[in-house]
Structure 1
Amino acid sequence: MPAVKRPHPGSEGADGRTPRGRIDPLLKVSKVRACSECKRQKIKCEMKTGEPSCSGCIKKGHKCVVNNELHQFIEESHEWKSYYVSQLEQVRAAVYDLLRRNEMPDLSTYAVTHHRSTPIMEPSAPQAAAVIEHMNSSSAMAMTRENSQEPALEESELVAAPMRSLYEVTKLRNLRSNLNSVSNGPSPPSVLEQDLISRGCVSLDEAEMLFSVYSRTINQFLWGGIAMLHPDLESVRRASSLLTAAILAVAALHIPNDTDLLNTCYKEFVSLVSQSTLNRYHTLDDIRALTIGAFWLSDLSWKLSSRAVSIATEMSLHQCVRKMLKGDMSQYEGAEVWYLLYVLDHQFSTAYGRPPIIREDVAIRNFETFLECPESSQRDIRLIAQVTLFAILSKAYDLFGSDTDQEISEDSFVRIREFNVEVDRWRLRWQPQHLVSPYVGTYPSKGVALHYHFAKFQINSLSLRSITPSAKLSTDRKEAADMAISSAIATLNMVLEEPDIRNSIVGVNLYTHAMVAFSTVFLLKIAWNWKATSLNVDQAQVYNMVERIITLMSGVRASEKHITFHIANGLRRMMTHLRMRECKRIEIQTDGPEGIKETVSPGFGIFDENWHDFANVMDVFDFLQPGHWPSD
């Protein structure tokens, strides 16, 4: 009869017995065999806890060797744990140092995201293996096939995109376009638990304040809030962490005396944009987040706008209007985002002097179908007005190009007059359709007039491209140049004199700031270099308007990193430099043919003759590149 083992206290089952097949680990660990020396001498081997050798070997000075795999495992486990505990402490110290250097909250403020009702447990071996496998697979190139039947050749499209045919042949998942993702479904539930509010980077009260600032004022300048449709902060947080971060960052840019809050929100937004770069699946709210960042964050504008267009084309938003033409009005929201991206793309292609990505396709030509959709509203009228204006400017860009060394010919002024007529008709058509807003007053209607002057200025300033102040101007060229001057003056007059434009100067998007800066610099250069010509420019009037623009820009209430302060500081430096040059005017006496004495003024340094690139607004004295946002 086999010997009965004594059960270990606490190991009994419900009936007081030790469960069958269960061996208590403590009993197992206590069965350590004698060391080799004690075995040889056939004496009792006593191993004390924490001692590397048994009592007999310590007493006699022998090397204690235990041929026991479990004992060796315990020793190796102890060494392994000690090593990784030290590694963990080093990582913790490094994280603390990084948080301190970047002025971020303490490590203790970052909560562990898990369900409160679920206890924290050590992962089982299969679970750990699954996690490791997932991590390895995410960093490896995925070449997995779809779990579906082979395609029937008689059912597939005859003429399709080449990549679609490649997908039909290989059925590789990573070749499949995200064609059916125009729905604006919510992100996974964990999004809300992992955003910067849940992690304690920004308090809920601060976030609510920032959301209110954005939704009630800033958002309304963007054609009635077309880029953010959510009614409250919680809705935004559940929809997209990227959209949440974009809204908070842009709102924080308009809050005075709180640079830390801006830096925190900005860093979160940049981090999420970087993380999303290689993601395959996006929502419409993710695209809206990129557009919001592009419209207001000057150092990211071009990168974000091109990224947003790239994602939209992958989601086939450019096909939404075509589907609406076939009667599918469910494509309305995707079409609206595509029109928004068209305006964004063309605003910054104009500002940076670069060719646009989105061309005048079937969607742009058939905007009437979009406006006839039952869901269409006043915000869509404001948006489509911008679309049609930039369609005109795109034709001018395609015709005349952006080569600043290329003088336009005398024959080109016929086309310039035609473009002027198109812009006049554009204003007559769209300005009456813009109603008074409960949030921004008459800004929608006045904004049409402001963009009208922007467009007339851009088109007519081409007349002076690659022309020197000493050149003799033809009647047509002088007429266009004078129209460019009057349009630039009208732009500044609207900013200074129209209350709803003047009061909105801090909240409008980057393109408006760029065009105001461009108009101002243009007039300064004309007043300095061209005042002796027959052009219609009053130097005193220009200087007075510039001084008033400086006062307006420097007096807004916003973060010190807002672009208006950089515009004001840049213009102030230019005016100071100009005044100094006037005071130090050098009279050079030269004897002309009849002994006439001529006064020659030195060039105004940065105002040289190579200023004729009307499109490259963003390079004007780095007004719109104030440097890195986060402060060290």
Structure 2
Amino acid sequence: MMDASTPLKRSSTDAGLDSPRESNRSTDSRPVAPRISKARACAECKRHKIRCEFRPGESNCTKCIRSGIKCVVNDFSQKFVDDDGVWKSQAAASMQQLQAAVSQLLRQAGLPDLSTFGSGDSRNGPSPAASHHTHRPSIDASQSHSHHDGPGVVMDVTREPSQEPDLQDPDLVPAPMRSLYEVTKLRNLRNNHIEAPKKTLLEEDFITRGLISIHEAEELFAYFSRTMNQLLWGGIILVHRDLTSVRRASTLLSAAVLTVAALHIPNRTDTLNRCYHEYVSLVSSMALTRAHTLDDIRGLCVGAFWLSELSWKLSGHAVRVATELGLHQSYQRLTRGHTDQYERAQLWYLLYVCDHHFSIAYGRPPVIHEDVAIRNYETFLELPMVVPGDIRLLAQVALFMILTEAYRMFGSDTEQALTEADFGQLRVYNVAVDQWRLLWQPRSADSSYVRTYPSKGVVLHYHFAKFQLNSLSLRGLSPSNTPVFSMDRKESANIAISSAMACLNMVLEEPDIRDAIVGVPIFTHTMVTFSAVFLLKVAINWNTAYLSINARQVRRLVERVIELMNCVSAGERHLTRHIARGLGKMLERFDSWEAGWQVDANHNGSEVDVPGGANAMAQGFPPPDLIYDMVGTYGFGLDENLLDPSMANFEFLAQ
């Protein structure tokens, strides 16, 4: 007779299994999950395949007590049950904590309660096996969120649930990093997955939050669409016809458009401050994410073209995002018949120009090189979907191909003077620019928005390029130690002078150019300013015995440029305001030099036609910083702080 206190004992063949008769008694039609037996046997009894009996209150079985050995129980099934219970309790606590946090965030954002949201599609979620293998019960809860940004970040190295490397893949020479992904499956190497862009941008953007009224936003959008957007190659940078459309597509693009528009309209400083801060915040938050769209790239380009203090950073970031999205390969796909790649290829050309505007203009090497798409732009122009804006855009591409080649040939070292042998190659580039004008000026059709600006803009950029190239003839030369000017150097320097004057005269005399001077990208403002500063410095440092320049004519020309910049309708923080103030200060210093030179000339009985008296230089006219910087440098050396020191604090902070 079995004692009532003796635990139920089964044979080893029955361990862990329920009786079939017990299963058949179930009246529930649902499948019954097998129960895990909690029976246990020590190692010694299992070795002898005998029953393991425990008396009440004893921790050792009767067999081990009789044998005088240690009773060791290896109950793996019970351990699994215990661990599973611990894991479930921890998961339940974490779930409640997350639900509370999400509910609080929804309340703060004014969104519906958590219970109104669907449970989602479980088929897209992680599999139970994946959850089990990635679970780390021993990791502290504070470490489980270590992938978030902030101080004390701990890199969470996780693996991709991707397929095993295919050794029969016919692609033998992929990008090296692709092989590394296949072998290691380390997610950190990819900087997280590319997330799908949000679809609720309009309901959550800064306009909905009340940062700017919908009425004012509509007004700013309309202003940008009919002015700046048309000046930048006929509207190809902003393809949306209304504000609602652009808000749904990209908050970054809508913030960029409204910021640039507020910059150009008088008495919108407060609006500009709010939009600018929102734009900068959005740019900063997207720096380490991969959820980007083509409109996000456009938003970066809009800021680069018109926000001088951000242009260099934004243009570089735009190129990096574009290559991550594969825009550099769109032209090849387009030529293979994939017409849906047209917009992407067009944007790649726009990025090439944006990159070269703000690399060469700062004296820095460009990022995008002359790949197959850039070299074969004429093939792109043969496509049936090409618009007039594409012709204007690719005219810039063709011009910057010439200037980039010259940059690589001559470099940007301001102390490296051109040798006599360099002037032969310089003439080749001059001829290339002449041919560029002859080809592209007739192809640039007039626009109902900007009238003759497309063809006149080709002429303006022609003078820019000729001036930029030939100013190299004076690079690295010191006026105090005047070299012997060869015929080639003198010819090139005089071309630079005449081209710089042509730039200024065209801005002043051509109505369609003059009317557009506010809305054009800052590259045009840069070249106009560079031309004016160059002429002032040459008039001071090189007399007419060497170069053909008239100091009084230069002074009058710069004075008219200042008048133009002061009378245009623009916001208080617009670049034209700073150019006018900076050139005004330079003109005051020029007048001081001229007055000192006249005193010196009259004292010595000299004629007053020729500037550059030795005593005037000795008396400190002009100041040292007006002599050397920016004379004949390919990269200009022009940044936002050169002409007006107040630009150093160009942060749009609320006053």
Q: TM-score range by the shorter chain?
A: 0.7 to 0.9
Alignment match, 2:626: 607
**Contact 1:329–1:373 (8 Å) recurs in 2:** no
**599-608 or 171-180, which moves further after superposition?**
171-180
Q: Distance in 1 between matches of 2:375 and 2:415?
A: 32
- Structure 1 position 221 matched with structure 2 position 231: yes
How has the CA–CA distance of structure 1 residues 386 and 113 changed in structure 2, closer, same or farther, with 3 Å as cutoff?
A: farther
Q: Which residue of 2 aligns with 1:164?
A: 178
Alpha-carbon distance in structure 2 between the residues aligned to 1:190 and 1:562: 33
**8 Å CA contact retained: 1:266, 1:630:** no
Name 2:600's counterpart in structure 1: 587
State the Cα deviation string for residues 141-173 of structure 1 (Å, max 9, x = none): 453333343232102521111110011112334
Judge conservation of contact 1:563–1:626 (CA < 8 Å) in 2. Answer: no
Deviation at 1:512, TM superposition (A): 0.3
1:114 to 96, 100, 111: 111
**How many Å separate the matches in 2 of 1:111 and 1:505?**
45
Deviations 1:357-403 (A, max 9, x none): 11111111111222222221111111111001000001100100111
Asked if 1:516 corresponds to 2:528, the answer is yes
Shift of 1:314: 1.4
What is the CA-CA distance between 1:414 and the residue it aligns to?
1.1
Residues 322 and 328, structure 2, Cα contact 8 Å, conserved in 1: yes
2:574 to 562, 566, 576: 562
2: CA distance, partners of 1:132 / 1:330: 46
SS at match of 2:500: helix
Change in 2 beyond 3 A, CA 1:413/1:527: same
Instruction: Give the match for residue 324 of structure 2.
Output: 314
Distance across 2 between alignment mates of 1:617 and 1:500: 29
Cα offsets for 1:395-416 (capped at 9, x unmatched): 1001001111111111111111
Which of 449, 453, 457 pairs up with 2:459?
449
- Percent identity, aligned pairs only, is 54
2:436 is equivalent to residue 426 of structure 1: yes
Q: How does 1:150-189 map to 2 (within 5 A)?
A: 150-155=164-169, 157-176=171-190, 187-189=197-199
Following the alignment from structure 1 to structure 2, what is the Cα–Cα distance between the partners of residues 394 and 162? 29
The offset of 1:180, in angstroms, is: 9.4
Q: Secondary structure at the match of 2:600?
A: coil
The alignment's TM-score, normalised by the length of structure 2, stands at 0.73
Asked whether 1:436 is paired with 2:443, we answer: no
- Per-residue CA deviation, residues 455-490 of structure 1 (Å, 9 max, x unaligned), is 000111111111233222111110011100010010
- For 1:234, the equivalent position in structure 2 comes to 244
User: CA 1:136–1:607 in 2, change beyond 3 Å: closer, same or farther?
Assistant: closer
* TM superposition shift of 1:614: 3.7
Distance 1:193 1:416, change over 3 A: same
Distance 2:457 2:652 in 1: 29
Gaps of at least 5 residues in structure 1 are 1-109, 121-130, 592-597
Residue 194 of structure 2 contacts residue 290 of structure 2 at CA under 8 Å; is this kept in 1? Answer: no
Q: Distance in 2 between matches of 1:134 and 1:244?
A: 36
Cα 1:149/1:179, change in 2 over 3 Å: closer
Q: Judge conservation of contact 1:221–1:508 (CA < 8 Å) in 2.
A: yes
User: How many angstroms apart in 2 are the aligned matches of 1:133 and 1:208?
Assistant: 46
Q: Say if 1:515 and 1:617, in contact at 8 Å, map to a contact too.
A: no
Secondary structure of 2:442's counterpart equals helix
Rounded Cα–Cα distance in structure 2 between residues aligned with 1:477 and 1:225: 42
1:283 partnered with 2:302: no
Deviation of the 1:435 alpha carbon: 1.0
Report deviation, 1:179: 11
| Residues 178 and 489 of structure 1, relative CA distance in 2, 3 Å threshold | farther
> Could you say which residue in structure 2 is the equivalent of 1:127?
none
Q: Say whether the 8 Å CA contact 1:351–1:511 is kept in structure 2.
A: yes
Contact 2:267-2:571 within 8 A present in 1 as well? yes
1:202 alignment partner, SS class: coil
Correspondence for 1:27: none
For the Cα contact (< 8 Å) 1:531–1:539, is it kept in 2?
A: no
- Could you tell me how far 1:137 is from its partner in structure 2? 4.8
Q: Within 1, Cα distance between the matches of 2:166 and 2:223?
A: 55
2:390 corresponds in structure 1 to 380
- Residue number among 550, 560, 584 corresponding to 1:572 in the alignment: 584
Q: Offset of 1:133 from its aligned partner? A: 10
Residues 147/510 of structure 1: CA separation in 2 closer, same or farther (3 Å cut): same
Amino acid at match of 2:633: D
Cα deviation, 1:486-529, whole Å, max 9, x if unaligned, reads 10010001100000100011000010000000000001111111
Q: Which residue identity does 2:301 align to in structure 1?
A: T
Corresponding pairs, count: 504
Residue 528 of structure 1, aligned match among 527, 540, 544: 540
Establish whether residue 622 from structure 1 lines up as the match of residue 642 from structure 2.
yes
C-alpha contact 1:485 1:537 (8 A) present in aligned 2: yes
Residue 420 of structure 1 contacts residue 456 of structure 1 at CA under 8 Å; is this kept in 2?
yes
Conserved 8 A contact 1:263-1:631: yes
Please say if 1:270 is aligned against 2:290.
no
- 1:111/1:219 Cα in 2 relative to 1: closer, same or farther (>3 Å)? farther
**C-alpha distance in 1, partners of 2:636/2:654?**
28
What secondary structure does 1:437 align onto? coil
Over residues 208-239 of structure 1, what are the superposed CA-to-partner deviations in whole Å (9 max), with x where a residue is unaligned?
00000101111111111121110100000000
Pair 1:544–1:590, CA change in 2 (3 A) = closer
Alignment-mate amino acid for residue 622 of structure 2: F
Question: Do 2:233 and 2:393's aligned partners in 1 also have CA atoms closer than 8 Å?
Answer: yes
Superposition deviation, residue 623 in structure 1: 3.3
2:215 corresponding residue in structure 1: 205
- C-alpha spacing 1:179/1:193, structure 2 compared with 1 (3 Å): closer
Unaligned runs of 5+ in 2: 1-106, 118-140, 606-612
Q: 1:571 to 1:290 in 2, by over 3 A?
A: same
